[in-house]
Amino acid sequence: MPGGERMKIGDLEAALDGTKLELGSALRELKLKKKELKEEMLQQIEKTWEQFGKTWEQAGKCWEQILQYLCPLLVENLLIVEMLFLVEIMLLPCPFHPEFLLYWVLQLCPCL
């Protein structure tokens, strides 16, 4: 193999390594942002539950408030909602059946 071709292959390998590093860094940053967003949403859910969810009569308003906050945030950040996260939300103390909550999530977030 002539020296010029080896140099080109070496350049390509170096560029590929650089791209891998950039992608790895971007992926770590995305995972961190997703984690921060998830924590922010859970804090908002807890705060809303504390404010509105103390009684059965107020539970509907509580979940309406939560979903009104949650759905635009998801749309704004173009996140794919993991089913596990939806399950986490549905396991919070709420008198409504999980299918009811999922129905409203899908109604308020048609992008899902």
Give tens-digit pLDDT for 52-68: 555 545 666 666 666 66
**75-93 tens-digit pLDDT:** 555 444 554 455 556 565 5
What confidence category does residue 36 fall into, taking pLDDT thresholds of 50, 70 and 90? confident
pLDDT of residue 78: 45
Instruction: Give the residue ranges of DSSP H helices in the chain.
Output: 3-52, 56-77, 83-90, 98-108
pLDDT of residue 87: 54
**Under a CB-based contact definition with an 8 Å cutoff, are residues 63 and 101 in contact?**
yes
Tokens 């048609």 sit at which residue? 110
Cα(45)–Cα(48) distance, integer angstroms:
5
Q: At what angle do helices 83-90 and 3-52 cross, to 10 degrees?
A: 10
**Under a CB-based contact definition with an 8 Å cutoff, are residues 104 and 67 in contact?**
yes
Cα(34)–Cα(27) distance, integer angstroms:
10
